[in-house]
A and B are shown apart, each in its own frame.
Chain A
Amino acid sequence: EDKVVQSPLSLVVHEGDTVTLNCSYEVTNFRSLLWYKQEKKAPTFLFMLTSSGIEKKSGRLSSILDKKELFSILNITATQTGDSAVYLCAVEGYGQNFVFGPGTRLSVLP
C-alpha cells in the first residue's frame, strides 16, 4: 500500500531558527514529490521534485529529493512568523495517483 510519512508532525520554533521537515514515501512507480504550504484554504505549491540530488530553492526555502532512500527534506532558514503553517508532502505515483502525507504543523514564535 502506498504511503507517505512526514516528521515531525508538529514543531515549535522561534523566529530566526532553521527547520528541516522530513518526508519519506513508499509509492508505486514514483513520478514526483511535491511540497505544499497550507495556511487557511488550499495548499500553496512550493516545490516539485523529480530527480535525486538536485536542490530547489525559493528564497529561504529549499528542498531536495533522495530517490534511493525514498525521502525528501524541506529546509526553511531564518524562519519568520509568516512561515507558520502546515507543510504537506504529496507523492505522485503510477497512474498519476496522489498520496498526501499527514503534514507537519510548524509554529514560529516571535
Chain B
Amino acid sequence: EAGVTQFPSHSVIEKGQTVTLRCDPISGHDNLYWYRRVMGKEIKFLLHFVKESKQDESGMPNNRFLAERTGGTYSTLKVQPAELEDSGVYFCASSPVDGWEQYFGPGTRLTVT
C-alpha cells in the first residue's frame, strides 16, 4: 500500500515568489492534515480537511496561505507571496474516517531566500 506522498521534497524560492506544495494522502483516507515545522523541534498544526471540506483551519498563519483539496483526494498548499519566515518543513498526514492513527508524509522542505 502506498503511503502519504508529498511533492516536491525540497523547494527553494525567493521572497515574494509563489510556491505550491502537494500532498497525496493514502487512498480512501478522508482526513488530511497539514503541519509545519518552522524552527527547532515543534510541529504546528495548520489545517484539517475532511474530504474536500475544511474542518479546521485555525492554524493557518495568514491569508498568504491557501489550502485546497479538490474532489477530496490530493491537497495543495499555496504560499503567495512567500516570506522568509515561511521557510520550514511542511508535513501532510492522512487518516481514515474512523481511524485514530495519522500517517505522515516525508515532508516538503521549503527554503525562502
For this complex, into which size category does the number of interface residues on chain A fall?
20 to 34
Q: Do A42 and B43 touch (CB < 8 A)?
A: yes
Task: State the CA gap A38–B40 with chains docked (Å).
Answer: 17
Whether a CB of chain A sits under 8 angstroms from the CB of B20 is: no
Known: A36-B43, A98-B107. 4 other contacts (CB 8 A): A45-B42, A86-B101, A95-B10, A100-B103
- Contact of A34 (CB < 8 Å), options: B41, B45, B101: B41
A-B contact pairs, 28 of them (CB 8 A): A34-B41, A38-B102, A41-B56, A41-B59, A42-B42, A42-B59, A43-B43, A44-B42, A45-B40, A45-B41, A45-B42, A45-B43, A48-B41, A86-B100, A86-B102, A90-B104, A95-B10, A96-B89, A97-B9, A97-B106, A97-B107, A98-B89, A98-B91, A98-B106, A98-B107, A100-B104, A102-B101, A103-B102
CB-contact partner of A96 in B43, B101, B109, under 8 A: B109
Q: Which of B35, B43, B44, B102 has the most CB of A within 10 A?
A: B43
Contact pick for A42, options B9, B45, B103, B106, CB 8 Å:
B45
Question: Looking at chain B, what size class is its interface with the partner chain?
Answer: 20 to 34
Q: Please measure, in the bound complex, the distance between the C-alpha atom of A95 and the C-alpha atom of B12, giving whole angstroms.
A: 14
Q: How far apart are A35's CB and chain B's nearest CB, in angstroms? A: 10
A109 at the binding interface (Cβ < 8 Å): no
Cβ contacts B88-113/A at 8 Å (1 or 0 each) = 01010000000011111011010000
A88 and B9 CA atoms in complex are apart in Å by: 21
CA distance A6 to B45 in the complex (A): 23
Interface string of A80-97 (1 = CB under 8 A from B): 000000101010000111
Chain A residues, Cβ within 8 Å of B109: 95-96
C-alpha gap A45/B100 in the complex (Å): 19
In this complex, what residue of A is CB-closest to B42? A45
Chain A residue at minimum C-beta to C-beta distance from B40 = A45
